[in-house]
Amino acid sequence: MMVILYSHNKINEMGKYVNHTSVGVTLSSASGKCNDILTDGAKEIPEPTEFVPNLVCVVDNGFFGAAAYAYDEGEFKAFTLPGDKRPKRWFIWDKVQQFAM
């Protein structure tokens, strides 16, 4: 299934996600993904107001969580749209480029 996000007057295919860490496959829940990347060295931060490198946004989609790598300004903006009310937690993780796919 392809996920499409409408953002900034163009349509983009959603980017890169983290489904494993150096200790194995991440759990499917948002809290499980948060715990897994924290265990692997990530640092939780308040919701950022601008793009920063190595940024991970864990989104609680209800039935499952998604750990998204916000690898550029466009991806960052896609996860900070004002109308997106899904619960999110933010992290800086220096290993994200190694594990995001």
Q: Is 91's pLDDT higher than 60?
A: yes
* Domain count across the chain: 1
The parent domain of residue 66 ranges over: 4-99
Q: Summarize the confidence of residues 4-23 as an average pLDDT.
A: 69
Q: How confident is the model at residue 10 (pLDDT cuts 50, 70, 90)?
A: very low
What separation in angstroms does the CA of 49 have from each of 13, 33, 64, 87, 99? 23, 23, 25, 16, 24
Residue with tokens 């290993």: 95
Length of the chain: 101
In contact, 51 and 73? CB cutoff 8 Å = yes
pLDDT tens-digit readout, 53-84: 999 999 999 999 999 999 999 999 999 999 99
Q: Does the structure show a pLDDT above 70 at 12?
A: no
Is residue 14 very low, low, confident or very high in pLDDT (cuts 50, 70, 90)? low
Q: Percent of the chain having pLDDT more than 70?
A: 86
Residue 2 scores a pLDDT above 60: no
pLDDT for residue 99 is more than 90? yes
